[in-house]
Structure 1
Amino acid sequence: MLFCIHATMRRSDMKATQQLRNEHEGVKIMLNILEQVCRQLETDGNLNEEHFDGILEFLKVFVDKCHHGKEEDLLFPALITAGVSKDGPIAVMLQEHEMGRNYVKSMSDAYAACAGGNESASKTIRKNALAYITLLRNHIEKENNVLFVMADSLLSEKTQDELFEGFERIEEERIGAGKHEEFHGLLGKLSKMYLT
């Protein structure tokens, strides 16, 4: 479950792509939690607001702003510089990031409607959440098994080091000090409630 392991390792001990793989492990745990939340929503119509607020924040801030930000702002341009066509796998990854954003926005909008008394909105939350889960699980497999393998073969150690430093900066700027650990705590707490 430890997806923030990079915080305790020196840059020379880990490639930038490994940091992204580690983060994927945390994302997969949250997808499993979200899947259980959807089951509960379908079974009894209940949605714990505190838990769902935390899940949405994780998806918007950690997954999109931080993790996808590292890929879009630094990794993908480095791959293009190394000769990977921006119209190939990178275009697919960018399109899937955008699809994910749309699912999360639809979930958020439906959640607001649900809080406002619209009971049918829970179906929209569930539909978009399940579509997001499927999208991201497939997306992670493609990145781990195709894109990151490509990056590891094409990018020099120097470039990997520069990416790692850039990833650390993005994390500080976009989510701030201590937030990564807070998300880690949220994953642990929700895992005990939904995955045991």
Structure 2
Amino acid sequence: MKAIEIMNEEHKYILRMLQVIRKCCFKILNNEEIIYEDFYKIIDFIRNYADNHHHKKEEKILFIKMVEELGEPAKKAVNQGMLVEHDLGRLHVRELVAALEKVKAGEEEAKLDVIANAISYTHLLIRHIDKEDRVIYKFAERNLNDEVIKLIDDECENYEINNEEIKNKYISILEELEKRY
């Protein structure tokens, strides 16, 4: 499936950003100054690449077709697994933003919340990506018929064509942050 190949590739970029997040948190742990601009770039990447770009294709294209075509097993895996984890990731990001604002306002103890939410997000996403790559995507490839696979591939390809600049922007941000960390 071309769509799943694209999503697997996006996972690689997301995993690379998770390494940047860990390095940023380690600097905080070592009492180095927080570079807020970098954290806001990370948050922008998470919200607009990992979530709005990548998760949108899963949630609005792949997962919907899986539930429609494959019934209860897909419904459970998607609704009680993948979507719950997407929402939990969004919660960690909201809490990360709130913690950064508290630190900026002078609450030193909020650095704990910056680290806790950022690292919790990385742990969640590492396991989440592994489940999608090894279980969910494979389940879709094995069980969806060729007609549905073509439909998913076409929808994802159109989405990619219309959002090429988003992909390029966020890969560039990732590469910039990797050079710094």
TM-score by length of 2: 0.90
Candidates 77, 96, 118, aligned match of 2:85 = 96
Deviations 1:80-105 (A, max 9, x none): 12214254211211111111010011
Q: Which residue is 1:158 aligned to?
A: 147
Bigger shift: residues 145-154 or 80-89: 80-89
Deviations 1:112-169 (A, max 9, x none): 2222222222110100111111110000000000000011112234323322332345
Q: Which residue is 2:17 aligned to?
A: 30
* % identity of equivalent residues: 27
In structure 2, stretches of 5+ residues that fail to align are none
Offset of residue 111 of structure 1: 1.2
Q: Which residue is 2:4 aligned to?
A: 17
Q: CA separation of 1:98/1:24 partners in 2, compared to 1, >3 Å: closer, same or farther?
A: same
Name the structure where helix makes up a greater proportion of residues.
2
Deviations 1:53-97 (A, max 9, x none): 110000111111111111111111111122142542112111111
| RMSD of Structure 2 on Structure 1 (CA) | 1.8
Does structure 1 residue 42 correspond to structure 2 residue 52? Answer: no
- AA aligned opposite 2:129: I
TM-score by length of 1: 0.84
- AA aligned opposite 1:124: D
Does structure 1 residue 79 correspond to structure 2 residue 90? Answer: no
**2-side partners of 1:54 and 1:77: how far apart?**
30
Deviations 1:17-46 (A, max 9, x none): 111110000000000110111111111242
**2-side partners of 1:171 and 1:131: how far apart?**
29
**2-side partners of 1:65 and 1:178: how far apart?**
14
Determine if contact 1:16/1:161 at 8 Å carries over to the other structure: no
Q: Which residue is 1:120 aligned to?
A: 109
Bigger shift: residues 110-119 or 62-71: 110-119
Q: Number of residues paired by the alignment?
A: 179
Q: CA separation of 1:171/1:108 partners in 2, compared to 1, >3 Å: closer, same or farther?
A: farther
In structure 1, stretches of 5+ residues that fail to align are 1-13
**1-side partners of 2:30 and 2:133: how far apart?**
34
Q: Which residue is 2:129 aligned to?
A: 140
